Amino acid sequence: MGGVAGEEERVLKSSHNIMKFNILFIILFQFLYLITNGQVSTTKVFSSKSGFCSTTIMLDSLGNFYRESGCEGRSYISFGTYRYKNGIVEFRFLNFDSINPVNNILESTSRKNDSTVFITFLTKQGEPVSNSHFSVDAIDSSGKFLKTYRLDSVGRIEINFKKYKEIRLPYLAKIFTKKVRIEILKNNYTIQLNLPDLFFYYPNTKTESGNVFSLVLKKDGLYSLNGKEKEFSLVE
């Protein structure tokens, strides 16, 4: 009986080890697939300039791209998903309505005093929103707009949560073509937006879309499909 039990135990351990190996193999395969056939491993930024105009494209490691084209104070922004395979990046555009303006809201356990809190605004990369044209409107409990705030150097405003109940973000309303309002909390909190820093370069930002297009990714930039003309240089 002991021999049979021991044999069964060895079989169970062997099966368990095989299962663990298979799971690890699947995870490794998925990881390698994403690197070689899905996305770039780290965020990359590319730029092209012509006179007073420039275009910037950012690829993140999650398969999203962001494009900003600026010319003499005008800024056109767009975003979408990309697929990286066999050295070629294929770009597909999405509408801004397909994402939430806010990525996440993180509340702390402290406040400035018994009536005032700090609200900090961060970009998608976690950097302070530094655009001086990014304003915050304070609204009281009756729904009336009472005051406009401007961000300081670290992307922050100081506001009375007993006087104001809600904030609205007109800069985002222009991009997402809808009202963007957020309840004021009773502790300091941070609002991380779903937009990268290159979308806050200019005061007059307009959204645009485009058709599917592809470029060749090389170590120093993005090239035309024949691999000869450099369209965008890698920003170090």
Would you say 170 and 195 are in contact if contact means Cβ atoms under 8 Å apart?
no
pLDDT over 80 (residue 62): yes
pLDDT over 50 (residue 32): no
Q: Does domain 100-193 have CATH number 3.30.450?
A: no
Residue indicated by tokens 């699947």:
26
Mean pLDDT of 97-115: 94
- The region of weakest confidence among 21-35, 54-68, 123-137, 159-173 is 21-35
Closest CA to 105 of 183, 196, 199, 200: 183
Q: What amino acid occupies position 225? A: L
Q: Where are the domains of the chain?
A: 1-37, 44-97+203-234, 100-193
- The region of weakest confidence among 38-47, 100-109, 147-156, 220-229 is 38-47
- The region of weakest confidence among 27-31, 92-96, 100-104, 198-202 is 27-31
Mean pLDDT of 35-53: 83
Take residue 22 and report the two structure tokens written for it.
């298979």
- The whole-number pLDDT of residue 30 equals 42
pLDDT digits (tens, 9 = 90+) for 172-207: 999 998 999 999 999 999 999 999 999 988 887 899
* Fold category of 44-97+203-234 in CATH: Lipocalin (2.40.128)
Better pLDDT: 174 or 22: 174
Query: Other C-beta atoms within 10 Å of 46: how many?
Result: 23
Better pLDDT: 104 or 205: 104
State pTM to two decimals: 0.79
Beta strands in 95-229 (DSSP E): 102-107, 116-122, 135-139, 145-150, 156-160, 166-168, 181-183, 189-193, 204-207, 213-218, 221-223
- The whole-number pLDDT of residue 92 equals 97
Percent of the chain, pLDDT > 90? 71
Would you say 165 and 134 are in contact if contact means Cβ atoms under 8 Å apart?
no
Q: Kindly indicate the confidence band of residue 24, based on its pLDDT and cuts at 50, 70 and 90.
A: low
Contacts 24+ apart (CB under 8 A), 32-38: 36/85, 37/83, 37/84, 37/85, 38/63, 38/83, 38/84, 38/85
Mean pLDDT of 101-120: 95
Closest CA to 149 of 117, 115, 108, 113: 117
- The whole-number pLDDT of residue 74 equals 84
Q: Kindly indicate the confidence band of residue 10, based on its pLDDT and cuts at 50, 70 and 90.
A: low
Better pLDDT: 64 or 35: 64
Alpha-carbon separation of residue 156 from 4, 93, 118, 123 (angstroms):
70, 32, 7, 12
Take residue 182 and report the two structure tokens written for it.
């957020």
Q: What is the CA radius of gyration of the chain?
A: 24
Q: What is the length of the chain?
A: 236
